[in-house]
Amino acid sequence: MRPHRAFVEKIAPRIGLTGREARHLAQVLRARKGDILTVFDGQGLEGRAQVVALEPGCIWLQVEETWPASRETPQPITLYLALLKGDHLAEVVRAATELGVEQVVPILCQHCVVRELSQAKLERLQRIAREAAKQCQRSRVPTVQPLLFLKEVPRVEQGFVAHPQASLLVHQRFDPQRPTALLTGPEGGLSPAEVALLEERGFTPVTLGPRILRAETAPVALLSLVTAAFGL
């Protein structure tokens, strides 16, 4: 069995683990003195740590060795994700983390049913990204940015927007050695004006196949075409 992975803000010789990580270790994994686990800081550094003391609300670790780790894509991938109903945003953030995205940027589009992203929900999405990164052994934790209006999306070097009327396939244009931006719309889709604006900003409309995908399925499919299909 692989050692448990714990996220820490900073790897130091001695670490006091508190909060959710400490509760999980103590209450779920029943950690004991002498247990070994892997710690990672979400910035590319990992370490081997031993539990040296358990106190109420805190588990003390002694870091025995550290090493740089890289399980990331050759170039950063940003996912611009329209606000979605229910808990679909969280589902996509979790899957996108597993697929290697560097950052997720929620965007507000013309046809979004949900029109705001509270600070509490943003923090929950960031927490979900951190937990997903730990589970899939990412060396970096992707960031979830505050809400952005679609018109504020910057020009990109290489970008793809999922569009039902497009005929171009991702692999016909994708270059894994260039930074990539991906964008998918809300339940009501993107308006023609929004698609035109995105094309001006460097996004290429691409098809995800002959079937109409749900708004929460499209971003995962698009990311898979870029990372999983190319072994990234």
Per-residue pLDDT reduced to its tens digit, 149-175: 999 999 999 999 999 999 999 999 999
- Average pLDDT in the chain: 94
Q: How far apart are CA 204 and CA 198, in angstroms?
A: 8
| pTM greater than 0.75 | yes
Domains, the chain, ranges and CATH? 4-68 (2.40.240.20), 77-226 (3.40.1280.10)
User: In terms of residues, how long is the chain?
Assistant: 232
Confidence of residue 5 (pLDDT cuts 50, 70, 90): confident
Alpha-carbon dihedral 139, 140, 141, 144, rounded to 10 degrees: -150
Angle (CA) 143 149 151, round 5°: 120
State the burial class of residue 145 (Cβ atoms within 10 Å of its Cβ: 0-12, 13-18, 19+). middle
b or e along 161-186 (b: 16 or more beta carbons within 10 Å of the residue's beta carbon)?
bbbbeeeeebeeebeeeebbbbbbbb
